[in-house]
Every structure is written in structure tokens, then in C-alpha cells.
Amino acid sequence: MSHTAHIRSHRKPRRSASSLAMRAGVAGGVLSTLAVAGAAGSANAAEPVTQTLELPTLTADLATQAAQSADATQQAAANYQLQAERDAAATKAAKQAKADLADAKQKAAEAKKKAEETARKAAAERASRSTTRIALTADDTSGSTGTGTSTSTGSSTATGSAAAVVSFVKSQLGKAYVSGATGPSAYDCSGLVQTAFKQVGVSLPRVSQDQSTAGTQVSLSDLQPGDILYWGSAGSAYHVAVYVGDGMFVGAQNPSSGVSEHPLSYDQPTGAVRVL
């Protein structure tokens, strides 16, 4: 036996194949575990990528919302524009109504001024005849004189149709004066004359202007009962009445006196026409 047979060798003993295989297996297992953990870590690290892939869907929703918001804004703008147009139209209508009212007031004022001017002219015409009226008054009270002629040189007694006209106008004394009225309860001046002559079958024009030219012009110094007296010029007379004889006439004078009888001196007529 060798003298070294029982001395342990200082060299490390060789590892057996099974031990190495075991250790390799353990190492492989560890590496596999690390690989799984790494894969899991990689998977966890990849999760944000998955969230990023969902962004297109969110972006599409936002685009839809933006489009809807734009439509709502456009509709609101259209509503505002429509309201503005309505307000403008209402303002324009109000201005037009105001202008129309001012125009109507101006026309009314002009019409009133014209009526007042006509009344002043009529008053001036009456005043200008004051001298003639005084002369007629003298004639009515004294008849013919050496210096003048009576206005009643014609017949003072009505006969035939003239008598019927005179009788009719006298029967209307006391009735009201109403502009445009032709009886039976009220008359204006030409309405009374027209209705009186209608009683004897004579059709006269309706207004005093036309009645002043309806017959033959006669002198105021040769009047006969039934003659039509007029004030103003022939063809543009503003008042008419019926001469009833004895220097008197009957006419629908005005709202205050109605149908009344007066002497020629009360308001000297301009002229006269005879239709009977």
C-alpha cells in the first residue's frame, strides 16, 4: 500500500455529471423565471402602447362633439340674425307709421286752414256787399223812389209751379240744417232747393255751384217768387235759397238757424236764376 493512500487530496473533487445537470437545471429554471418576469415586465411596459391605440376612438368622438357644437353655434347665429331682421322690420314699420301719422296731421291741418280761408273769403264777400245791402233795405221799406229801384219790381204773387215751390219751402221752416241732407227732417242749402223743385217735377243738380247755372240768369231787381238765389259767382256759388216774394227768401242757412226766412237785406245774394 502506498504511503499516500490515506491522505486526502488537496485538489477539489470533480463534480459528478448529475450534480452539474441539477445545477444546470436550477440555473435554467432561474433563467426561465427571469425570462418570464422580464416578459411580464415587458408586457407591463407595453400597456401604455395599448392605451395609445385607443386614442383614435377618442379623437373621433371629439370631432363629432366639435361638429355638433359648430352646428349649434351656427343655428344660434341664424336665430340671432332672424331676430335682428325682425327687430329691424318692426323698427322700420314703427318709423313708417310715425311718418304716416305726421303726414295725416299735416294734411288735416292744411284742410282746416283751407276751410278757414274759404270762410274768411265768404265773410269778406258779404262785407263787400254791405253798401248794396243798405240800399236794398231802403228799397224794401219804401218801394220805388226817385233815386232807386225796388228789388221787387217783378210779381210778388206766386202762381202755378212757383207757388208750389214757395209753399213747400215755407212748410220746412224750423227744420234742422245738416250738411249733405235732403230731407225730410233736415236739409243743407242745395238739398232744400233740389227737394222743393222736385215737388213740381223739376230735376235740379245736387250742389249749389251747379244750381247757380241751372236756369236763366235774372236781375235781382226783377225777381219773381220761385227764383233761385245764389251767393258767390255763377258756377262757383257757395250758397243758394228760394225767393218767396215781398223781398223775402227761405233757405237752409246754417246749423244755428236751420231752415229760416229772411229779407234780402239779411244777406244780399249775388245773383238769381229762373227755372220755372
> Could you report the per-residue pLDDT of 77-96, keeping only the tens digit for each?
888 888 888 888 888 888 89
Bridge pairing between strands 271-274 and 259-263: unpaired
- Give the whole-angstrom CA distance, residue 136 versus residue 219: 13
Residues 79-91, buried b or exposed e (16+ Cβ, 10 A)?
A: eeeeeeeeeeeee
pLDDT tens for 50-67 read 555 555 555 667 778 877
Q: What are the residues whose beta carbons fall under 8 Å from the beta carbon of 182, sequence distance 6 or more?
A: 188, 191, 192, 194, 195
The cell for 270 is 249775388
> Is the pTM for the entire model greater than 0.75?
no
Angle value at C-alpha 222, between 220 and 224, nearest 5 degrees: 100
Task: Give me the pLDDT at residue 233, please.
Answer: 95
The cell for 175 is 227744420
pLDDT tens for 258-271 read 999 999 999 999 99
pLDDT tens for 224-236 read 999 999 999 999 9
To which residue does cell 395609445 refer? 52
Q: What are the residues whose beta carbons fall under 8 Å from the beta carbon of 224, sequence distance 6 or more?
A: 154, 155, 158, 162, 218, 243, 245, 274
20-24, 113-117, 173-177, range with the lowest pLDDT: 20-24
Average pLDDT, the chain: 77
Could you list the beta-strand ranges (E) of the chain.
Answer: 176-177, 186-187, 216-218, 228-231, 239-245, 248-252, 259-263, 271-274
Does residue 10 carry a pLDDT above 90? Answer: no
The cell for 98 is 310715425
pLDDT tens for 150-205 read 444 455 678 899 999 999 999 999 999 999 999 999 999 999 999 999 999 999 99
Task: Give me the pLDDT at residue 148, please.
Answer: 37
Contact 243, 267 (CB under 8 A): no
Task: Give me the pLDDT at residue 138, please.
Answer: 43
